[in-house]
Amino acid sequence: MGKGLGDKLVLAISSRALFDLSESHQIYESEGVEAYRRYQIEHEDEVLMPGDAFPLVEKLLGLNTRLSEQRVEVILVSRNSADTGLRAFNSIQHYGLGISRAAFVGGRSPDPYLAAFGCHLFLSTHADDVRNALKAGFGAATLLSGGARRANSNELRIAFDGDAVLFSDDSERVYQSGGLNAFQDHEREAARQALPGGPFKPFLAALHALQQEFPEAECPIRTALVTARSAPAHERVIRTLREWNIRLDESFFLGGLDKSAVLEAFAADVFFDDQTGHCEKARQVVATGHVPHGVSNELVP
């Protein structure tokens, strides 16, 4: 990971994740690039409505105000050209978002530039760009529309799945190849061996570092693990986080139960999971990012 912005938490986000560009994207899909370009220029003074990631971005940037220094950086990373991206920047200024840096890559995948900014997380609605970012070693998720937005609270709440998100997919491979009993036996035997980190470990570590800058009783960031694991597979997770010296505020070992009710009760601003089935259910109650990583997302040739 690059060190372009020092020790800040760095989020790269696409314009379609930050703002509602559904109307102009429909023009792009049906009429092509030139019609899209004309539309954006003709409407560049019209403010875009917030997109699914807008509340998350607003709360992340709000941490800078609370800390009286810029510890979070959000970078607009777009397939647009600067010409067609002007509308997004105008909307950023309208909402008073503290976003000053951008990369407009003219129709290409932005993943080669994530390292230059030292990104911890990339959010997009373009699944191929997300896959490319994950292959390059960055935490990344495809933001799914439909989730409820929790903008009426200043507390930032982020929930994570475990295997193939915070942790590697090694244990998930055991489960898928050998079944539940083989998985439970494997995790029981390996309980004192730390799990390898997954693509979201650096982002969680950066969040945890921010949490340490607040008094515990006043911390505006709350994190949760929401996993299908249950006892005895819980022990390895707990010991792994202890070895990483990372604290999660809440942990839910659901043993295969539907995660949606817990996520709704936790009131997550966003939830990250690698399995599409979990994501489709979760998106009905919270903003959800699909992490197309690991054995559950391997593309069949």
* 301 upstream amide cis, omega within 30 of 0: no
83 catalytic residue (yes or no): no
Phi/psi for 11 (5° steps) reads: -110, 125
- The 3-state DSSP class for residue 110 equals coil
Q: N- to C-terminal Cα distance for the chain?
A: 30
What backbone phi and psi angles, to 5 degrees, belong to 254? -95, -10
Closest CA to 281 of 144, 156, 122: 144
Q: Which of 52, 111, 161, 163 is catalytic?
A: 161
Quote the CA–CA distance of 102 and 257 in Å, as a whole number.
41
Integer angstrom CA distances of residue 140 from 45, 74, 266, 273: 31, 14, 22, 11
Catalytic residues: 161
